[in-house]
Amino acid sequence: MFDFEFHNPTKIIFGKDKESLIGSELVAAGHRKVLLLYGQKSVQKSGLLDRVRRSLTESGIAGVELGGVVSNPVLSHTRKGVELARQEKVSAILAVGGGSVLDEGKAIAVGALANEDIWRFYSGRAEVRKALPLFTILTIAATGSEMNGNSVITNEETRQKYNIGSPHVYPQVSILNPELTHSVPPDYTAYSAVDAIAHVIEGFFTKEPGTRLQDRLVTAIVRTVMETTDLILADPSHAQARASFMWTATLALNGLTPAGIGPYSFPNHMIEHSLSALYNIPHGAGLSIVIPAWQKWYHYKNPIQFELFAKEVFGLETGSAGIEALEQWFAAIGSPIRLHEAGIPAEDIEKIAANAHDLATLWGIGDLYTRENIAAILRLAA
Amino acid sequence: MFDFEFHNPTKIIFGKDKESLIGSELVAAGHRKVLLLYGQKSVQKSGLLDRVRRSLTESGIAGVELGGVVSNPVLSHTRKGVELARQEKVSAILAVGGGSVLDEGKAIAVGALANEDIWRFYSGRAEVRKALPLFTILTIAATGSEMNGNSVITNEETRQKYNIGSPHVYPQVSILNPELTHSVPPDYTAYSAVDAIAHVIEGFFTKEPGTRLQDRLVTAIVRTVMETTDLILADPSHAQARASFMWTATLALNGLTPAGIGPYSFPNHMIEHSLSALYNIPHGAGLSIVIPAWQKWYHYKNPIQFELFAKEVFGLETGSAGIEALEQWFAAIGSPIRLHEAGIPAEDIEKIAANAHDLATLWGIGDLYTRENIAAILRLAA
């Protein structure tokens, strides 16, 4: 165990129809006018947006609307949101959607109170010191953004997918109704599963061995994600599996599993950010390509953790067998495991490595993740 | 999965020497005068109290002191604290000690802002609506009070050990320095282990089967408590084991494991409260007597969970084998497993059952836990 601080003040309201409580939650927190942020048509078609509007109206809250957030949310649209939030003097952001909408909501919450361009925070040139309060209604379980202080935005001009992590952007209230996720299609269900697993295994494999509680929390989460994903792919309306998957994905990145494990890094996310920044593929699809390759390249550096994972997740004896089993499971649920499956040409590996190395440098892991090493990892995914 | 709310706003600061941060944490929260509550001589002898005083002084905070909190904290002393907090107009409570000091700190925090006697809240006749902010420095890992809204107080006159649970008494900041627990003697280490295990298994065995994530979180915690306890008993200064034990005990009762499991109850605590109210034995010692007896009486009602526990914790095939293994482990670590080992005469069983049934009624489980059934359970511990 290493020293740590843990402070996660987000209030989770979990269950059927709980989105109807959003108006009263906002009123209780003193809000009268909010920016209602959402993505594409699905929240309109499903009727969710209308239910949210009704809850706001019934509580006497004005909702200034901004739709059109895209997956891998982009800087240009974020800037629009910042401008709108400032102009309309909203006192909070209400993000309704998946991780992309929530992440952009966090960016807008920061930008609305800042005197400088929002990208400066993501590119490491400014530190987040305040943000508008954020409220969320989640429609896809995957990123954990509903209960953490992380946000990832893509700068379309520079092709950089960069992040912030700040205590100021934890959502104040997040409403999780697992029924809203029943319509998530099989491919995105699979990508979400990969993402949730990726969130817990980054720390597991890059930390020192020895923190057994945290190891067990990680394998508990991985096993539950795998089990519930298989159930959901067999029956997309499996209510128990959808609910369990949703809460598990939240716990996968809410600060619980890394608390006390000491130094660790996020190399798979680092490399994947370049794939989705350059090719606009779903984050989870990029991760299922990167993870097996990275594991094959890295496992000699931390054999105890790889053996533990193989044993506790798959009942297998060697680290290599565990790596193969995870890769096969990614393939079985329909997530790509090689670059070409996502339409990424092997000839681009050097270009991807250069992009990823910039982020590695920003994250302070550029010494290990040189362009050469990143290229070597990517060649294992070719 | 069932609907739930999860909201745990306590900030945890975990690590060596972190108690020196208490002054700056209080100042940051705007406090200038606090009630410094502690127990017996150990915090004085260890020098901890002096370090806390120094941190307060350096931050310009006045500390009104009240020592003498006893284990199984009593109402009369709590009332003294309430009076002192009111007289001195402190703006926060700083509790330095184990679960008893923290629990009494919560009671004083409530009483200081109430217009009625503090016992009315514990006896279910008044609802907590506000409390002074609470800050804690933990010296014994066991009760989880450092990260939850629970508090248990004993009324010495009526011999009732009753509790409150309220969002208003979550500590604002809890400082956990595992080195402070190195001096906890073997018997109290064992009682603490029993207590932490008890916190997670109450829900595990009394809920419906099917919430596998939460099952896995519970067995992760139980296995870690057992493993680290064995290490600590072999080497009381085992830093890694003490640290892991401490954080595991916190997670055992911070709302994580029951979130989403639906209805459950706390029957072992209910019966144990009568043992410690009537005989003033350590809570954990009472629990290790009650749990095996309760399990033998109850396991037919929820066989799936008992089989799961046996398998995932002990690698055993039957629920009964798991019950026996847990009982044997309690004995092995030196915690009593029969009434007479704690000096409680079997002739008192009817009297204990009557006391416990009153609490069962208050908790709404009096139909199952009749005097007769409680007596039947206790006879299995005779």
B180 to chain A: which residues are within 8 Å by CB?
Answer: none
B213 touching A (Cβ < 8 Å): yes
CA–CA separation, B322 and B311 (whole Å): 8
Q: Tell me whether residues B217 and A217 touch, CB distance under 8 A.
A: yes
B142 close to B284: Cβ distance less than 8 angstroms: yes
Of A4, A178, A243, the CB nearest to B15: A4
Residue A14, beta-bridge partner list:
A176, B4
ipTM: 0.96
Alpha helical stretches, state H, A235-370? 239-251, 267-279, 283-298, 303-314, 319-332, 349-362
Q: What is the pLDDT of residues B35-66, one digit of tens each?
A: 999 998 889 999 999 999 999 999 999 999 99
Residue ranges of chain A with pLDDT lower than 70? none
Residue A340 C-beta-side C-alpha neighbours within 13 Å: 5
Calculate what percentage of chain B has a pLDDT beyond 70: 100
B212 to chain A: which residues are within 8 Å by CB?
Answer: 224, 227, 244
DSSP state of A199: H
Q: Which of B13, B146, B216, B242 to mutate to test the interface with A (most CBs of A within 10 A)?
A: B216
Q: Tell me whether residues A260 and B243 touch, CB distance under 8 A.
A: yes
Distance from CA of B13 to the nearest CA of A (A): 5
CA nearest A215 in B: which residue? B220
Q: What is the pLDDT of residue B321?
A: 98
B2 touching A (Cβ < 8 Å): yes
B217 touching A (Cβ < 8 Å): yes
Q: Tell me whether residues A178 and B1 touch, CB distance under 8 A.
A: yes
Interface of B with A in 230-249 (CB under 8 A): 240, 243-244, 247-248
A16 touching B (Cβ < 8 Å): yes
Q: Tell me whether residues B12 and A7 touch, CB distance under 8 A.
A: yes
Interface of A with B in 95-114 (CB under 8 A): none
Q: Tell me whether residues A221 and B210 touch, CB distance under 8 A.
A: no
B9 touching A (Cβ < 8 Å): yes
Q: Indicate whether B170 pLDDT > 90.
A: yes
Of B8, B178, B220, the CB nearest to A213: B220
Q: Tell me whether residues B210 and A4 touch, CB distance under 8 A.
A: no
Q: Tell me whether residues B4 and A15 touch, CB distance under 8 A.
A: yes
Q: What is the pLDDT of residue B40?
A: 82
Distance from CA of A172 to the nearest CA of B (A): 10
Q: What is the pLDDT of residue A248?
A: 98
Amino acid at the residue A354? A
A210 to chain B: which residues are within 8 Å by CB?
Answer: 240
CA–CA separation, A201 and A258 (whole Å): 10
Of A1, A12, A244, the CB nearest to B212: A244
Homologous superfamily of domain range A186-379: Dehydroquinate synthase-like - alpha domain (1.20.1090.10)
Q: What is the pLDDT of residue B41?
A: 81
Q: Indicate whether B301 pLDDT > 90.
A: yes
Number of DSSP helices (H) and strands (E) in chain B, helices first: 15, 9
A14 touching B (Cβ < 8 Å): yes
Mean residue pLDDT across chain B: 97
Q: What is the pLDDT of residue A40?
A: 82
CA dihedral for B14, B18, B19, B24, sign (positive or negative): negative
B170 close to B147: Cβ distance less than 8 angstroms: yes
Amino acid at the residue B273? H
Task: For residue B84, name the pLDDT band (cuts at 50, 70, 90).
Answer: very high
Q: Tell me whether residues B16 and A3 touch, CB distance under 8 A.
A: yes
- How many C-beta atoms surround the C-beta of residue A235 within 10 A? 10
The stretch B330-352 carries a mean pLDDT of 97
Q: What is the pLDDT of residue B110?
A: 98
Per-domain boundaries in chain A: 11-180, 186-379
Q: What is the pLDDT of residues B284-296, one digit of tens each?
A: 999 999 999 999 9
Homologous superfamily of domain range B185-379: Dehydroquinate synthase-like - alpha domain (1.20.1090.10)
Class of domain A11-180: alpha beta
Q: What is the pLDDT of residue A74?
A: 97
Q: What is the pLDDT of residue A110?
A: 98
pTM of structure: 0.97
CA distances from B332 to A325, B87, B198, B329, B343 (A): 39, 49, 17, 5, 19
B226 to chain A: which residues are within 8 Å by CB?
Answer: none
The stretch B226-255 carries a mean pLDDT of 98
CA–CA separation, B270 and B152 (whole Å): 11
Q: Phi and psi (nearest 5°) for B173?
A: -135, 135
- For chain B, the straight-line distance linking the first and the last C-alpha, in angstroms and rounded, comes to 38
